[in-house]
Amino acid sequence: MASLYKMPISNLSGIGSKRAELFKKLGVTSVGELLNFYPRTYEDCSTVEKIDKLQYGGVNCIKAILGTPVSDSRISGGRLVSKASAYDDTGSIEIVFFNNKYISSMLKGGKEYYFYGRVTSGSFGPQMISPTFSPVSDGVKIHPVYRQTAGLVSRTISNAVKQALNLLPKNVNDPLPEQVRSIFDLCGLKQALNDIHFPKNREALNAARKRLVTEELVVLNLGMRNIRELSRTQSGIKISKSYSGEFENLLPFNLTNAQKRAINECINDITEKTSSMNRLVQGDVGSGKTAVAASVCYTVIKNGFQAAFMAPTEILANQHFQTFKDLLQNTDIKVALLTGSLKESEKKRIRQELADGQIDLVIGTHALITDKTEFKNLGIAVTDEQHRFGVAQRAKLLCKGENPHLLVMSATPIPRTLGLIIFGDLDISVIDELPPSRKPVKTVLMSSANRRRIYDFIKREIKSGRQAYIVCPLVEEGELDNIASAEEYAAELMLKEFADIPVGIVHGKMKACEKEDVMAKFEAGEYSILVATTVIEVGVDVPNSTVIVIENAERFGLSQLHQLRGRVGRGEYQSYCVLVSDSRNPNTVSRLEILCKTNDGFIIADEDLKMRGPGDFFGERQHGLPQMAIADFADTKSLELSQKIADYILFVYKDIRCDELRLLKAEIERLFERGGQNNLN
């Protein structure tokens, strides 16, 4: 099998350089990759419909005899039309193809076929246009349907796959050792490959799928463990004394018990253990994760090392910078901000000071992990809103020091099974308590017909000194007519509804400095209302805000809405979240109602994952995991099974580099080559 990954796909008959280019578009360049290009779905003819029962518009499979040979004719524009009539014991149907000169030689009069396609109304009754078909005598009822690209249709791919399967040696070496397969009831690779493409029946398909999904997740599991092991070696950072008590005196509030516990766990990691800290602090929005990170950084800095704090957006980095600067103003700690939008000369100066060791604490965005940034003695790296950074980016930040400690913070509760894969045995501190005097945000779902009431409510809150957010999902004008555009909408609000109230706008197309300017004014209370797109999503902290109105709420994911809602309810005042949606789709409504019922981020994340799958849940590829060929991260059962198998494999074979796991190791390398790096040597 391994040699098939080296065999170019153009070795197959019927695939010249032109077709090979098209296959490349689908990510397939070798015969091996073609075998791993699994069907998108299947046309299942195990249940056939009688012709007299067909409904127009439905997609069906029929079993019918071709009554006449195919007749070709030309219509205007020179297009070729091939027509034939087929019948079963209840009626007849017209089969039509366009511009396919091979059809007449492929379909034979008098022979029985399965036809699969959409039924439309033709001039003489039911019609199927360009159905897929196969002779009943083949005995094959389930047909693969592949992802196609312009000029390369599923049938061509399927023919190529057939050839590729024939090239498999009689005994395919299996990456999963036989012992593992027999214990966990997994079929062999060769059978799995045959059956995933051309299953004889549903059972065979399910067995093939189980085997391939499991293998892929096992490979992912082992690969992730390996990455983590690399960062788990001895730490060069010796922290001898805790300064968390001293830090607490700098804070304007008392830490909650949950915050204290998290801080102690971190301090324990960095002072007592020989390997570097690898800890996730998970706490719902507003639970006070920043103070925890700040305390740990303080201790590390007081022990003579530098600290880096990476945030996913400039707004957030800026805000953290302000917080830290205020907090540390009467100390000898030097804090700096490093973001992409700084002037080049400014960046250069800060980088120089980091390399010299003049700066103790740097807050920044991705600018922190570019090659140009060097530290004198980085002792700890903190990443805020961890789920937005990929595994590779995290690793890059760690490379900036000699195995510095790592603290990742996240408000997005990652479902446990997926968390185990992403973080493995990363230690977790949970902040399960909100600062005192916080009241849960009250959430309501309203249609836009209630806008009058909503505006009046905002005005009342502003009158009593509070502030409000209004969130619209888009800045582009006219994407869809009914979608509010932030700027247009804000302009209207400013001029009409809130003419005597100061309104600020932030949106994704503004320059970073412009956004910061508006945010700073909102924070300072110069604006009472902030109209925003999702840029306010993560982390923004203005405790005086008590209302957030989210327009077109149906366009956001649940976790995203929960994050947005977390912008209010951060102070002592009762806060409100108004979800505005005119959607009547019952699924959408019940989705949004979940938010009205609970403030628990874990419940919401779970629901979100169930409904949308982790791709959307984390945003496009935000979980930082490699692209899967067949496995689905929402499939908890398979995730759990693969975890178990990975444990078993490491238990039995001890080391992934051993000879029995040679092929599995090659699979790990292949998977991570596609979406990240994993060096096993």
Interface ranges with ligand ADP (CB under 6 A): 253-256, 259, 283, 285-291, 411, 435, 539, 541, 543, 570
Least CB distance to Mg ion at residue 238 (A): 29
Q: Which does 626 bind (CB under 5 to 8 A by kind): Mg ion, ligand ADP, none?
A: none
- Cα–Cα–Cα angle for 401, 407, 412, nearest 5°? 140
**Closest CB to Mg ion among 214 and 563?**
563
Q: Tell me which of ligand ADP, Mg ion, none is bound by residue 569, counting a contact when its beta carbon lies within the kind-specific cut-off of 5 to 8 angstroms.
A: none
Give the three-class secondary structure for 343: coil
Stretch that binds Mg ion, among 227-235, 251-259, 531-539, 584-592 (CB under 5 A): 531-539
In angstroms, what is the minimal distance from the CB of 599 to Mg ion?
17
User: Which tokens go with 489?
Assistant: 């909408």
CB of 289 vs Mg ion, minimal distance in Å:
5
Taking CB under 5 A as the binding criterion, the range among 80-88, 224-232, 390-398, 538-546 that sits at the site for Mg ion is 538-546
- Residue 656 CB, shortest distance to ligand ADP, in Å, is 37
Q: How far apart are CA 591 and CA 583, in angstroms?
A: 11
Smallest distance from the beta carbon of 251 to ligand ADP, in angstroms?
Answer: 8
Q: With binding defined as CB under 5 A, does residue 539 bind Mg ion?
A: yes
| Smallest separation, CB 58 to ligand ADP (Å) | 50
Q: Which is nearer to ligand ADP, 187 or 308 (CB)?
A: 308
Q: Minimal distance in Å, beta carbon 520 to ligand ADP? A: 16
Closer of 286 and 626 to ligand ADP (Cβ) = 286
Determine, following the binding rule CB under 5 A, whether residue 288 of this chain makes contact with Mg ion: no
The interface partner of residue 287, options being Mg ion, ligand ADP, none and the CB cut-off 5 to 8 Å by kind, is: ligand ADP
Binding partner at 541 among ligand ADP, Mg ion, none, C-beta below 5 to 8 Å by kind = ligand ADP
User: Is the Cβ of residue 215 or residue 541 nearer to ligand ADP in the bound state?
Assistant: 541
Beta-carbon count within 10 A of 245 CB:
9
- Return the percent helix, strand and coil in the chain, to nearest 5: 45, 20, 40
- Smaller CB separation from ligand ADP, 187 or 291: 291
User: Parallel, antiparallel, or unpaired: how do β-strands 132-135 and 278-283 relate?
Assistant: unpaired
* 36 three-class SS: coil
Secondary structure of residue 359 in the 3-state scheme: coil
* Integer CA distances (angstroms), 646 to 172, 176, 369, 396, 664, in order: 22, 11, 32, 26, 11
Q: How far apart are CA 588 and CA 570, in angstroms?
A: 28
Kindly report each contact of residues 133-138 with a partner whose C-beta sits within 8 Å and lies 24 or more positions away, as own/partner: 133/95, 133/107, 134/45, 135/111, 136/63, 136/112, 137/111, 137/112
Q: Helical H runs in 500-585?
A: 512-523, 558-565
* C-alpha–C-alpha distance, residues 267 and 264, integer Å: 5
Q: Which is nearer to ligand ADP, 192 or 255 (CB)?
A: 255
Are the beta carbons of 252 and 292 closer than 8 angstroms? Answer: no
Contact, 293 vs 384, CB < 8 A? yes
Q: Which does 490 bind (CB under 5 to 8 A by kind): ligand ADP, Mg ion, none?
A: none
Q: C-beta of 254: minimal distance to Mg ion in Å? A: 19
319 binds, among Mg ion, ligand ADP, none (CB under 5 to 8 A by kind): none
Q: Which is nearer to ligand ADP, 570 or 665 (CB)?
A: 570
What span, in angstroms and rounded, lies between the C-alpha atoms of 641 and 634?
13
When the beta carbons of 84 and 361 are compared against Mg ion, the nearer one is 361
**DSSP string covering 496-521:** IITTTS-EEEE-TTS-HHHHHHHHHH
Query: Do 551 and 579 meet the contact criterion of CB atoms below 8 Å apart?
Result: no
656 DSSP 8-state letter: T
Amino acid identity for residue 126 in this structure: P
**C-beta closer to ligand ADP: residue 276 or 545:** 545
Applying CB under 5 A, the site for Mg ion has a residue count of 1
Which region, left, alpha or beta, applies to residue 107 given φ > 0 means left and ψ of -120 to 50 means alpha? beta
Return the number of the residue (260 or 451) whose C-beta is nearest ligand ADP: 260
Segment near Mg ion (CB under 5 A); pick from 64-72, 86-94, 345-353, 536-544:
536-544
Q: Which residue, 84 or 292, is less far from ligand ADP as judged by CB? A: 292
Instruction: Give yes or no for a contact between 474 and 483, defined as CB atoms under 8 angstroms apart.
Output: yes
What is residue 661's three-state secondary structure? helix
Span interacting with Mg ion, options 186-194, 359-367, 482-490, 532-540, rule CB under 5 A? 532-540
Nearer to Mg ion, 242 or 313 (CB): 313
The gap between the terminal CA atoms of the chain, to the nearest Å, is 22
What is the rounded distance in angstroms from the CA atom of residue 465 to the CA atom of residue 446?
24
CB of 320 to ligand ADP, least distance (A): 9
Smaller CB distance to Mg ion: residue 539 or 557?
539
Shortest Å distance, C-beta 364 to ligand ADP: 17
Report the partner that residue 286 touches, choosing among ligand ADP, Mg ion, none (CB closer than 5 to 8 A by kind). ligand ADP
Which residue in the shown chain puts its C-beta closest to ligand ADP? 288
Give, in order, the Cα–Cα distances in Å from 261 to each of 249, 430, 431. Answer: 17, 9, 8
* Contact partner, 285, from ligand ADP, Mg ion, none, Cβ < 5-8 Å per class: ligand ADP
Residues 483-522, one symbol each (x = binds Mg ion by CB under 5 A, - = not), give ----------------------------------------
Question: Within its chain, how far is the Cα of 466 from the centroid?
Answer: 35
Residue nearest to Mg ion (CB): 539
Subset of residues 294 to 323 that bind Mg ion, contact rule: CB under 5 A: none
Please state the closest distance from residue 323 (CB atom) to ligand ADP, in A: 7
Q: Considering only 165-173, 296-304, 497-505, 537-545, which stretch makes contact with Mg ion by CB under 5 A?
A: 537-545
CB of 593 to Mg ion, least distance (A): 27
Q: Report the alpha-carbon distance of residue 250 to residue 452 in Å, rounded.
A: 45
Where in 284-431 does DSSP place strands (E)?
306-310, 335-338, 361-364, 378-383, 405-410, 427-431
- Sort strands 125-129 and 112-122 into parallel, antiparallel or unpaired: antiparallel
- Binding positions for Mg ion, 590-649, rule CB under 5 A: none
Count of Cβ atoms closer than 10 Å to residue 610 Cβ: 13
In a 3-state reduction of DSSP, which class is residue 132?
strand
Report in angstroms how near the CB of residue 539 gets to Mg ion at its nearest.
4
In the chain, how long is the greatest CA-to-CA distance? 93
- Cβ-based nearer residue to ligand ADP, 435 or 676: 435
599 interacts with, out of Mg ion, ligand ADP, none, CB within 5 to 8 A per kind: none
Burial grade of 526 (CB within 10 A; 0-12, 13-18, 19 or more): exposed
Q: Give the nearest distance from C-beta 447 to Mg ion in angstroms.
A: 32
Question: Where does this chain bind Mg ion (CB under 5 A)?
Answer: 539
